[in-house]
Amino acid sequence: MTTMTDSSVREFKMPDVGEGLTEAEILKWYVQPGDTVIDGQVVCEVETAKAAVELPIPYDGVVRELHFPEGTTVDVGTSIIAVAVGDGAAAAAEPVQEAVAEEPKPEGRQPVLVGYGVSTSSTKRRPRKGAEAPAAAQTPTAAIQAELNGHGPAAPAAPAAPAAPAAPAAPVTGDRPLAKPPVRKLAKDLGVDLATVVPSGPDGIITREDVHAAVAAPEPAQAAAPRSEPAAPAVSPSAPTSYDTTRETRIPVKGVRKATAAAMVGSAFTAPHVTEFVTVDVTRTMKLVEELKQDKEYTGLRVNPLLLIAKALLVAIKRNPDINASWDEAAQEIVVKHYVNLGIAAATPRGLIVPNIKDAHAQTLPQLAGSLGELVSTAREGKTSPAAMQGGTVTITNVGVFGVDTGTPILNPGESAILAVGAIKLQPWVHKGKVKPRQVTTLALSFDHRLVDGELGSKVLADVAAVLEQPKRLISWA
């Protein structure tokens, strides 16, 4: 995503890295003004709400200016670096008639990430009209909303900028309230009508804090709040400025933590959670794990209890396919997935992420072992791509690695079930009529009670336990 400002300078904008993301934080610059860059060279690392990714520059030139310092959160579509290019290179990169446009239309996949391009058809944002006339005729409210969606203001409309101050009055009329897509989703999840929310952002933009304030405020007070006083909520951010730094540490909520918080709040207040538990003897499973480690077919692969637990869940889903579904609120439909993208919750230095193994249901046990190993190593290195965290259908969270017996996991948004695995411990257990020390663990299955009844959830959990107690069922039930 670039813009020509004159014949020799190109502006590289924060690209849309896919999956509807609207902003990213600049973690690190790898170049400085005066440095020479070549096509494909990584110039910075950014952290989106889902992962840390590296951005390559799509042309040769010399860095003229870095528009933002490290640690700044920048909206998609905002220019972040200016690069001076040769006249010949500029002419080869884009036609002269496109020099006055805000940005050239992408063809095919744009090289916005290392190993992860963005298809034109993959974006969920509304396409631009293209012609200057519709852009000039765009209402102030529509122009601001387009910028919120990451399109940025159109360059030909720049002379009309002085008239923009009238835009804040737009939300008061019957126009659509101004808000970024994530804020609209949050409002939908919490059941908040954006038309009733008092905006506190610039140009009358509704923020997440406004939505949460609307939920917490009494109904009459919310209705009576004057929409013409967006400056009032600004008092709250100034409150925490004075505090004892020796007794408290304040950490800005952003990046992965911000996305996780929003997702968990949305999930907890949208899907009615039910959690069931079962304690199971996994001694035979642990023996099978040790045997597989000695099998030459698994040489170099990650073989551990999680591998067989994952396979047990896949078998249970095959026997109870209705658990692998999602709730479509807009269409009022239950969407049953005929594939399993198995999510694995992973704790990383940047926070909790849930990458998933695509089409895990179709993988053999060795293939699944390889996929799990790659998923874990990539997450630990902080190289998980946004694409790897999209499209999950069911998730496993292994809290047992922390020595915890079990938990009540919150559903990953868009999924109907999540399995928590507790610590595997040697405990007294009645086996063949005698009390013996056995390897025992507790499983917990949380599910969305809108589409998963107690019977279905119980069957799935019982099947997982049965496979782990008797691993031979991996063969007989497969």
**What's the one-letter identity of residue 137?**
A
* Catalytic annotation present for 449: yes
Q: Which stretches does DSSP call E strand in 349-460?
A: 351-353, 356-357, 394-398, 417-421, 425-431, 434-448
Three-state SS letters, 74-111: EECCCEEEEEECCHHHHHHHCCHHHCCCCCCCCCCEEE
- Dist CA 439 CA 432 (whole Å): 15
H or E, element range at 80: strand 79-84
Residues with Cβ within 8 Å of residue 444, at least 6 apart in sequence: 275, 276, 277, 406, 407, 408, 409, 419, 420, 422
CA angle 423–358–395, rounded 5-degree value: 30
- Dist CA 469 CA 465 (whole Å): 6
**Residue 336 · residue 321 · CB < 8 Å:** yes
- Dist CA 422 CA 459 (whole Å): 19
Residue 3, SS3 per DSSP: strand
Count the neighbouring beta carbons within 10 Å of the beta carbon of residue 293: 12
Residue 270, SS3 per DSSP: helix
Count the neighbouring beta carbons within 10 Å of the beta carbon of residue 5: 14
Catalytic residue among 67, 212, 273, 449: 449
Residues with Cβ within 8 Å of residue 27, at least 6 apart in sequence: 44, 45, 46, 47, 52, 70, 71
Residue 288, SS3 per DSSP: helix
Q: Which two tokens stand for residue 460?
A: 């799935």
**What's the one-letter identity of residue 363?**
Q
Catalytic positions, written as ranges: 449
